[in-house]
Chains A and B, each alone.
Chain A
Amino acid sequence: MTKASFMKELESLLSNISTEERESALQYYEDYFADAGDEKEEDIIAELGSPKKVAKIIQMEYNSAMHSGDIDGIYTENGYKSTKYGEDKYEVLNASEKIEENTDNSKKDSYYNDSDNMYNNTKDHSYDNNYNSNYYYSSNREEPRREKSNLWLIIILAILAIPVGIPVIVTVFALAISAVAVVFSLMIAFFALSIGLFGGGVVAVVAGIITLFTLPMNGIFMGGVGLILLGLGILFGIVSITIVKTLLPGFIRGIVNFLSKIVHRKKIIT
């Protein structure tokens, strides 16, 4: 595989994480290749394995970062208790071997297949705990079970919530659509108003000039009214253009963000 196709595949595999994270990762590897030099390119690609492996490692770190709290660990008199290393840790040397294709259930499954894997996962999160293989296996089995029962609970809850949920969702949806419709019609109204005022103003000014020749006073009056209408028309025109320029992009961006948040959340749960 060439570096270009490797990076391209990596980029598409990372499409489900945030843009900032994806670009940071891609930039890192581009820099890595560049710093290593062209002659090392093949070796590096061979060692990285496949774009899939690299992407999985990045995604797992991303997911665990999304879930873990802020406190990494506290220093107690019994030693350093790491509050995060108990949970999500991987065997770094063999991580790339352990990554199997079906790790979307529990990321721990991929890490704990190797019986050599000793240190990290202990129940009470204390990393100076002794190596205890029974301990280790039981906590291994607990996790997948917990994950499955959580999923079932969620499914049952969803089913029970349908009678109430569906009308609520429909109402919310309808309200959203009508809100959008109102905003749109206001925009159109403003536009129409400005065009109408402008047009009317032009007509009045023209008529006024013509009347000047017969009834001067009337003519001046009409011209004046026409100018007022023109002014109002221009004013409304400016207002409607500003509305379109600011509201519309913001609106669309808000909708896209909202939708992508939903899509992302789904991906993380599964």
Chain B
Amino acid sequence: MVFNTGAALLDAVVLAVVSKEADGTYGYKITQDVREAIEVSESTLYPVLRRLQKDDCLEVYDMEYGGRNRRYYKVTTKGIVQLNLYLKEWKNYSSRINHIFEGVD
């Protein structure tokens, strides 16, 4: 992986991944899904999830699974708004980069 992922992009990716599940999803699965796109360490995501939760972009709830309580993360309305801002920024940004790269032979 050549390009490093900034914090904002990581937040956006996490929000996008979680938003794809209507009922929310759990830490391990989130990490696996994010890793399909970018290489993150397993220890990277917890602070991100925690921060998004504190910023009210994600909400948590516990549900029983296999005899224990599993914590699920779900996008909030504010989280969706934030995600849309990120998506718009990303479109802008990536198109500018693409434009620069297109001119190269």
Interface residues of chain A, those whose CB is within 8 Å of chain B, are 21, 24-25, 27-29, 31-32, 34-36, 44, 47-49, 53-54, 57-58, 60-61, 65, 72, 75, 79-80, 82, 85, 89-96, 116-120, 127-128
Contact = CB atoms under 8 A, between A and B. Distances in A.
Given A24-B50, A31-B70, A89 B7 contact: yes
Contacts of B92: 79, 128
Contact of B27 (A31, A53, A127): A31
B55 A72 contact: yes
Interface residues of B, number: 35
Contact of B54 (A28, A44, A65, A82): A65
Contacts of A21: 50
From B26, B29, B42, B68, name the one whose CB has the most chain A CB atoms within 10 angstroms: B42
A35 B27 contact: yes
A28 B89 CA distance: 31
Contact of B44 (A24, A34, A92): A92
Nearest to A34: B68
A21 B51 CA distance: 11
Contacts of A65: 50-51, 54
Contacts of A27: 71
A216 B25 CA distance: 85
Contact of A32 (B42, B55, B86, B89): B42
A58 B46 contact: yes
A28 B29 CA distance: 12
Contacts of A79: 89, 92
A116 B4 contact: yes
Nearest to A118: B4
23 contacts: A29-B46, A47-B41, A47-B42, A57-B44, A60-B47, A65-B51, A80-B85, A82-B8, A85-B6, A91-B4, A92-B6, A92-B7, A93-B41, A94-B4, A95-B41, A95-B44, A96-B43, A119-B6, A120-B7, A127-B6, A127-B8, A128-B92, A128-B93
B5 interface: yes
B6 A31 contact: no
B70 A25 contact: no
A116 B6 CA distance: 12
A117 B31 CA distance: 23
Interface in B29-48: 29, 31, 38-44, 46-47
B46 to A, nearest CB: 5
A44 B28 CA distance: 11
A120 B41 contact: no
A47 B39 CA distance: 12
